[in-house]
């Protein structure tokens, strides 16, 4: 595992990385490392696996479900995310779905503006 972690870190230009047993565990640890907790809200897509919302609950925060763009584009709607944002919103968990990839730059601009 340590060899994998070292190789993965080098591949991504990181000093280190930690392998975990599941994406659920990874999401939980990421939220914890970011200091997300009680009183905070995290935007999550309404079309996702239950682990997305559960990872938010594991740190005591509140998942805020954001509808998808459309049946033709089953990814979290940026306009809906904007409408669902509050001063308590601290993070967004994007989920690529059914072969569709979220527009990283668009969501990074949104996150930076918030």
Confidence of residue 98 (pLDDT cuts 50, 70, 90): confident
3 state DSSP class of 101: coil
Contact 45/94 with Cβ under 8 angstroms? yes
Alpha-carbon 39 to chain mean position: 17
**Beta strand residue intervals within the chain, DSSP E:** 41-45, 62-66, 89-92
Query: What strands lie across the sheet with 41-45, from one edge to the other?
Result: 62-66, 41-45, 89-92
Reported as a single tens digit per residue, the pLDDT across 47-75 is 989 999 999 999 999 999 999 999 999 99
List the structure tokens of 7.
Answer: 């190789």
What are residue 43's phi and psi, to 5 degrees?
-75, 130
Domains of the chain, with CATH numbers?
Answer: 2-113 (3.40.640.10)
């Amino acid at each position: 595992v340590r060899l994998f972690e070292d190789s993965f870190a080098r591949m991504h230009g990181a000093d280190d990385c930690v392998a975990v047993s599941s994406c659920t565990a990874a999401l939980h640890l990421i939220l914890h490392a970011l200091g997300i907790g009680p009183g905070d809200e995290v935007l999550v897509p309404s079309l996702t696996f239950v682990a997305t919302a559960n990872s938010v609950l594991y740190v005591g925060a509140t998942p805020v479900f954001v509808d998808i763009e459309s049946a033709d584009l089953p990814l979290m709607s940026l306009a809906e995310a904007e409408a669902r944002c509050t001063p308590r919103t601290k993070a967004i968990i994007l989920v690529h779905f059914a072969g569709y990839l979220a527009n990283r730059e668009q969501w990074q601009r949104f996150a930076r503006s918030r």
